[in-house]
A = this chain, B = another copy of it.
Amino acid sequence: MEKISVLGSTGSIGRNVLQVVEKLSHRFEIVGLAAGENWELFQKQVEKFKPQIVSLLRKEDAQRIQHWWKGSPMRVSFGPEGPEEVARFEENDVVVSAITGINGLRSTLAAVETGKKVALANKESMVVGGALIQQAARDSGAHIIPVDSEHSGIFQCLAHEKREYVKKVILTASGGPFFHTPFQKLKEKTLEETLQHPRWSMGEKVTIDSATMMNKGLELLEAAWLFGLQPEQLDVLIHPQSVVHSLVEMRDGSILAQLSSPDMKIPIQYALTYPDREKMWLPSLRLSQIKSLEFYDADVQKFPLLGLAQHALKEGGSVPVALNAANEIIVDFFRKRRIKFIQISPLVKEIVEKHPKRKVESFKDIFKIDREVREEARNLIEKRF
C-alpha cells in the first residue's frame, strides 16, 4: 500500500484527492490529513480514513479532535506548522500539497525536503519559490508531479521529449466566467457572478483568479519552473470547452496535446499513480458529443493581470512574489466586498509596478518580501476605500 498525506484536505482539491484514494483503495491509504478551519468536514474525513497524523489550524479544534479520538495513537498537531509536521511524517510515500496561496509554501518545501513523491497542487510554491523548491528537490531526490490539469497535461506530453525539442508550451484557459462579457460590462460584475465558473468546480480564490485570468498568469510562472522553460516558450490560448488542457509544440512541427473531461480527479489520479495509469471510473470524453473545440488568442487588454504575470515571468527575482502577494490581498478584499471586481486588476498592477525588484536567495527573502507587499496592499486599500 502507498501511504498518502493530504495537506489541505477540506479544500476542493483535497476533497477530490480523497475521492480518488477511496476508489483506488486497493493501492492507496491515507496516513495524514491537514486542514484549516473546516472542523465539520475534517472530522468526517478523519472518521472515514483514520489517519495516523492530523493537523488543524486552531488549537481548540486540535484539542477537540484529540478528545474525540482519545485513546487512539493518532498524532494531532495545530497552528501554521501543523501541515509541515504532516508533510514530514515518516510513513508518507506521497504528499499532496493542496493548501491554497503562499500558506502552502512551507509545507510544500517540507514535503520536497523529505525526498518523497510530491503531488503539487499549490501553484504559489512554484510561482514565488520555483528556483528554491527545485533546488530542494534536486538535493533530496523528491519527484514533483503537478496536479493542475494544464501542468499535468504538459507533464504527460513532455514525458520523454528532450527539452531542446520543445518550441512552445501552450496552456489553455477557459476564459473564465467573463470571457463573453464586453470590457465595459465588467464593472457591473458581482462576487456571486465571479464565483460562477462555466467549466471547473474549484475553490473560491482560484475561481476569482480565473475570472481575472490571474490564475493563468500564475500557471505560466508555475510551468516555467516546473518544466525549466523560458518566458518566450510559454503561451496561453483561450479554449472555452476546457477539454484540451495544454499543448506542447515541438520544433519539428508536431504538437502533442493532452485532453480530458474537465474534472480534477483525472490529473489528481495521474499524479498519485504516476508512472502507472490506473483505470478511471468516470465516463470517457466523447469528442463527437462536444463537436467543436474552439481556440482564441487571449485578450491582454481586457485581462491585464495575464500581461502582468508575463511581465513578472520575464523579470523574475522578487516580482513574482510581489505579484502573488498583491493579488492574494486584493482578492481577499474583493471576497470581503470591500472592492469591486473591476478594481482587482488595476490595484494589483499598481502595487506590483511600485515594487522595487530585488533578488530572492532564500525562503526568508520570499517571506520578507511577501509580508512587505501584503502590508503595502492593505495600507493602500485602507487609505483609499
User: Which residues of A does B touch, CB under 8 Å?
Assistant: 153, 156-157, 159-162, 165, 167-168, 237, 244, 247, 249-261, 263, 265-266, 269-270, 273, 276-280, 282, 284-285, 287-288, 290-297
Shortest C-beta distance, A12 to chain B (Å), equals: 18
> Is the CB–CB distance between A249 and B296 below 8 Å?
no
Hey, which chain B residues are within 8 Å of A162, CB to CB? Answer: 277
Other A-B pairs, 7, CB within 8 Å; known A249-B285, A256-B258? A161-B277, A252-B273, A254-B270, A257-B259, A288-B295, A288-B296, A292-B294
| 10 intermolecular pairs with C-beta atoms under 8 Å apart | A153-B254, A161-B277, A249-B285, A252-B277, A252-B278, A253-B261, A254-B259, A290-B295, A291-B296, A292-B294
Q: Which residues of chain B are near A253, meaning CB under 8 Å?
A: 260-261, 263, 265-266, 269, 280, 282, 284-285
In the complex the two chains form, what is the Cα distance from A278 to B277 in whole Å? Answer: 30
Chain B residues within 8 Å of A153, by CB: 254
**Chain B residues with Cβ under 8 A from A249's Cβ?**
284-285
CA distance A235 to B287 in the complex (A): 12
Bound CA–CA A244/B167 (angstroms): 18
A277 and B254 contacting across the interface, CB-CB below 8 Å: yes
Return the chain B residue nearest A251 by Cβ.
Answer: B279
